[in-house]
Amino acid sequence: MDKGSETKAHGRREPQEDGPATSVSRRSFLRGVGLAAGAAAVPIHLPAGAATGTEGGVGPGPFKYSLKINGATKAIEAEPRLTLLDVLRDRLDMTGTKRVCDRGACGACTVMVDGESVCSCMLLALDARDREIRTIEGLARPDGTLDAVQEAFVEHDALQCGFCTPGLIVRSRAFLNENPHPTLEEIKQGLSGNICRCGTYTHIFAAVLAASQKEA
Applying CB under 8 A, among 123, 164, 174, 211 the residue interacting with other proteins is 164
Q: Of 123, 131, 119, whose CA–CA distance to 7 is shortest?
A: 131
Interface with other proteins includes 184 (CB under 8 A)?
A: yes
Cα angle, residue 157 at apex, residues 155 and 163 outer, rounded to 5°: 125
Cβ atoms within 10 Å, residue 23:
13
Number of residues in contact with other proteins under rule CB under 8 A: 67
Strands, E, within the chain: which ranges?
63-69, 72-78, 110-113, 116-119, 132-134
CB of 125 to other proteins, least distance (A): 13
Applying CB under 8 A, among 148, 166, 173, 174 the residue interacting with other proteins is 166
Applying CB under 8 A, among 118, 153, 176, 212 the residue interacting with other proteins is 153
Strands across the sheet containing 110-113: 72-78, 63-69, 132-134, 110-113, 116-119
Interface with other proteins includes 45 (CB under 8 A)?
A: yes
Interface with other proteins includes 198 (CB under 8 A)?
A: yes
Cβ atoms within 10 Å, residue 43:
9
Residue 67 CA, distance from chain mean position: 11
Structural contact between residues 72 and 30, judged by C-beta atoms closer than 8 angstroms: no
Q: 185-202: b or e for each residue (b if 16 or more CB lie within 10 Å)?
A: eebeebbebbbbeeebbe
CB of 184 to other proteins, least distance (A): 6
Q: Per-residue contact track with other proteins, 47 to 86, x per CB under 8 A?
A: x-------------------------------x-xx---x
Interface with other proteins includes 40 (CB under 8 A)?
A: yes
Structural contact between residues 173 and 114, judged by C-beta atoms closer than 8 angstroms: no
Applying CB under 8 A, among 65, 69, 99, 133 the residue interacting with other proteins is 99
Interface with other proteins includes 143 (CB under 8 A)?
A: no
Q: Which is nearer to other proteins, 21 or 191 (CB)?
A: 191
Q: Write out the residues near other proteins by the rule CB under 8 A.
A: 40-41, 43-45, 47, 79, 81-82, 86, 89-90, 93-103, 105-106, 108, 135-137, 139-140, 146, 150, 153-157, 159-166, 169, 184, 187-189, 191-192, 194-206, 209
